[in-house]
Amino acid sequence: MTNKLKEHLIRCEKAMQSAKPILAKHGFADDHRTVTVIGFISVLVEHQESVLLLVMHEKVGSASALVRPVVEGAYRALWINLPAADEEVKKFNKKDTIDLEFGEIAVALDTAYGMGDFFQDFKARTWKHLNSYTHGGMHQIDVVSLSMRLPTTTLRRKSTR
């Protein structure tokens, strides 16, 4: 890891640490929707901190495994925050279930937040990779192999035959 990257990661860590007190000092409504969104934000901050810590300790494979939960958690938080009906929020709180597939959540977010096709496009471009990182696929193997300076070209050629 280069010194420049180390310095950048330290700045990222300081930014994460400085954001937490800002979030903590505000009062929030005590309704199901708000509490759930705040819960998602708390989990996302913890995941981000964990990714940063793992990268700082050169455990990039394990760090990459957390990227999908960060993206998925952000989409779910945004869905709960705005387009989800009150009954859907209550169902999520009670049963830990959202009836929409991830792609359907992306469509709902684009519509609710007026984002064109931002969420759908991001999902389309990254979903295969995010799954591979989280579920120990070739993308995760490549990330770990690269960080350990191991050759993966032979592995990649054999896996695509």
Note down pLDDT in tens along the chain; length 161 residues. 889 998 999 999 999 888 888 878 888 889 999 999 999 999 999 999 999 999 999 899 999 999 999 999 999 999 999 999 999 999 999 999 999 999 999 999 999 999 999 999 999 999 999 999 999 888 888 888 777 776 655 555 455 54
Q: CA 79, CA 130: separation in Å to the nearest integer?
A: 19
Compute the distance between CA of residue 1 and CA of residue 86 in angstroms, rounded to an integer: 47
**Amino acid letter, residue 63:** A
Residue 26 is predicted with a pLDDT of 83
Give the pLDDT confidence score for residue 117 in this predicted structure.
98
| C-alpha neighbours within 13 Å on the C-beta side of residue 117 | 6
